[in-house]
Chain A
């Protein structure tokens, strides 16, 4: 998994497996979290978000889990496909200073899906 301040980790999975990408955040005041997918040569693309008053949110093939006690966020991708190969970033908002527009990004996790 990733954490703000650590080197870019990698995750390699087989097509069809489930993937779990982790993120640790440091600011307990953050109240909004986003997962982004970034394919090579493209800008980040929104995947799913979650607010701090929730601990789980589901989308299409993706689920985000938030554990505020340990300041941990995870992205679960079901039935991973080759098209899911990309760098995944978590981002937080609303931390110290109460900014509602300045996202703080983690360094990302490179997901490689093997056919």
Chain B
């Protein structure tokens, strides 16, 4: 596709369930980022991938959160045993270069609601 694609667009899950959020970056983009946006807040960094490696996982809120990237392309963010405070929009971005800037593009996000 032409842009960063995220799926699903919306996800409602029961507290305690596991969820997987998917990000399809722009083809050829080696850098991939996950951010979380809570209601009325700015974006909070979660994790950064360069290729399939994640040199910085410092933003993951707890060990319930994990992410992987395969083939230098698709990335999956997994949240285990979801809690209500996990409700947010999860945004993925990709860029050709390491440093985000005009060449970094965001997906439309996955709105996660934990009930």
Contact = CB atoms under 8 A, between A and B. Distances in A.
Interface of A: 4, 7-8, 32, 34, 41-46, 49, 89, 91, 93, 99-108
Given A43-B107, A43-B108, A44-B106, A107 B100 contact: no
| Interface residues of chain A: helix, strand, loop or mixed (majority) | loop
A9 to B, nearest CB: 11
Given A43-B91, A43-B93, A101 B99 contact: yes
Contact of B108 (A4, A8, A41, A89): A41
A99 B12 CA distance: 34
A105 B106 contact: no
Contacts of A91: 43
Given A42-B108, A99-B56, A101-B31, 9 more contacts: A34-B100, A43-B4, A43-B93, A46-B104, A89-B43, A102-B48, A102-B59, A105-B44, A106-B42
